[in-house]
Amino acid sequence: MYSIDEKLQKWNYMVSWRERKKYQVIFLSLLKKLKITTNLYYNYFFRNWYKLNEVRVGNTKDERRSIDAVLADPETNKAYFDIVTGQTDYVGEALMLRANHRVYHSRGIQSKGEYRTMLWDGYLTAELGLRYHADSEDRFQQDDGYSMQGGRMQLFLKGLPGSNANRITTAHAWAGYWLAKWSKGIVTLTAGMRYEDVDLLKRDYTKADPRRTGMVRIETSNHARALLPGIGINVKLLPTLSAFGGLHKGFAPPSATLDQKAESSVNVEAGLRYTTTKMKVEAIVFNNNYSNMLGSDLAAQGGQGTLEQFNVGKALVNGLEFMFQYQPIPQHLALRLPLQLSYTYTNTKMKNDFVSSAWGHVVYGDEIPYIYKHALNLQIGLEYKWLEANFGARYNGDMRTTAGQGRIAEREKIPHHLILDASLKGRINKRLTLTLNAINLTNKRYLVSRHPSGLRAGHPLGVYGGLQFKL
């Protein structure tokens, strides 16, 4: 089961290039009761990575197989599988590798005013904010053909840039919010309102126009706006015990597809928080009721990888979160031993039927795929002066990879697994910090996905070092 995936990891994602730039300017205006903060930002991110997309044993359409189909049934598709594993030579376009050339830009300006005063014998903090944001995604992808000779790949025919995907998607959004927090005695009330207005445009220049002259450009647009209220309360029952709750409306913008609806939900949470100088315990129950949930056509979830969103419809997501923090060593000592345990239980349920290329045929009552029902995390730290060490354990329960109900079929399951990690951090001086991280200490073999293209193994043993220098 694992050997197939291990052999193919080197084919699926061969090469990756990344470039990132980030700029931010902050302005502050401080008055006696009023504080105004304004941020201007710009982000640039470029990435290009190779992945095996198709295998060919001839020039006709019938002699082509997607890598998904080959791995789903390697015996029936033995001729294709033998090329992938290097058992059979083929001179020509045998392995079609997709170059996922993408450029992302984002920019904007946001300003927030904060005002503090006394009101009705209580303490009031009010915020008013406004933001303009614009971003874009530029896809200029191609398929390169490789032959297989002597167990090694050889470039046979380089694809024309833009011959696979040639489109630019942009978004322009205005957002404003008002938030007020009022405290008196044991009670703290929080109320707010947010407004979102988003314009989306996709310009597809098609494969026929790699120079982007616009002669055959196809444009689709969408627009979404939402008013999002929220309210919360915190009551201090005892000096160390508080109860809290909240009711909020959720929103996520749609894609640029015409008539695509925005995601909408009503989210409720309630919990208890116990806090002392050494200990903090928190338990929260949550319920998210979606009137329209959005799904994305991701290759990693069984889709075609177009990233187009689709309407899932009504859904319910609820569960429990628990967190425990403890510091057993007295504060006056230099040595620290922080302990933290967190657990999340998540239940999901579809409340209507629908069909999509990514999720297949979904019926009422199905669980949403790729969501762990049980997730447990343990962290143990040791801090002394300039040195900090941490040990972590991550447990995830069984997870289904296809929407369904009842017991998870083996072919649709990611089995539960426990992974151990560790890290070291040394602060050499005020400017220099050294880090060392070890992932999957026991080099455990485990699965994380069945999409795209069959079984995907988790991160093997990895050791990474880093250096941080502050000017």
Summarize pLDDT for 39-63 with one digit per residue, the tens.
Answer: 999 999 999 988 899 999 998 889 9
- Over residues 379-407, the pLDDT tens digits come to 999 999 999 999 999 999 999 999 999 99
Distance CA 391, CA 378 (A): 8
Q: What is the pLDDT of residue 21?
A: 61
Q: Find out whether 15 and 50 touch, Cβ atoms under 8 Å.
A: yes
Residues near 52 by Cβ (< 8 Å), separated by ≥ 6? Answer: 8, 11, 12, 14, 67, 84, 95, 96, 97, 98, 453
Average of pLDDT values for 121-139? 95
Is residue 130 very low, low, confident or very high in pLDDT (cuts 50, 70, 90)?
Answer: very high
pLDDT (average), residues 76-87: 94
pLDDT at 354: 86
Average pLDDT over residues 349-356: 90
pLDDT-above-70 percentage for the chain: 90
**Residue 24 forms part of a structural domain:** no
Q: Is 210 in a helix, a strand, or coil?
A: coil
**Tally of domains in the chain:** 1
What per-residue confidence (pLDDT) applies to 458?
94
How far apart CA 25 and CA 40 sit, in angstroms, is 5
Task: Please write the tens of the pLDDT for every residue from 450-470.
Answer: 887 778 899 999 999 999 988
pLDDT at residue number 295: 76
Asked whether residue 29 is domain-assigned, the answer is no
Q: Is residue 460 part of a domain?
A: yes
Which tens digit of pLDDT belongs to each residue from 298-337?
A: 544 444 555 567 788 899 999 999 999 999 998 888 899 9
pLDDT bin (cut points 50, 70, 90) of residue 285 is very high
Whether the Cβ atoms of residue 466 and residue 432 lie closer than 8 Å to each other: no
Q: Of all helices (H) and strands (E), which one includes residue 4? A: helix 2-12
What CATH number is attached to the domain comprising 165?
A: 2.40.170.20
237 is a domain residue: yes
Is residue 248 included in any domain, yes or no?
yes
**CA 469 remoteness from chain centre:** 28
Q: How high does pLDDT run on average in the chain?
A: 89
Residue 272 lies in a domain: yes
Which residues, in sequence order, are CB contacts of 426 under 8 Å at separation 6+? 386, 387, 388, 433, 434, 435
Q: Structural domain of residue 175, as residue ranges?
A: 95-469
Give a yes or no: residue 219 inside a domain.
yes
71-99: b or e for each residue (b if 16 or more CB lie within 10 Å)?
Answer: beebeebeebbbbbeeebebeebbbbbbb
Q: Considering only 102-111, 168-177, 354-363, which range has the smallest mean pLDDT?
A: 354-363
Residue 207 inside a domain? The answer is: yes
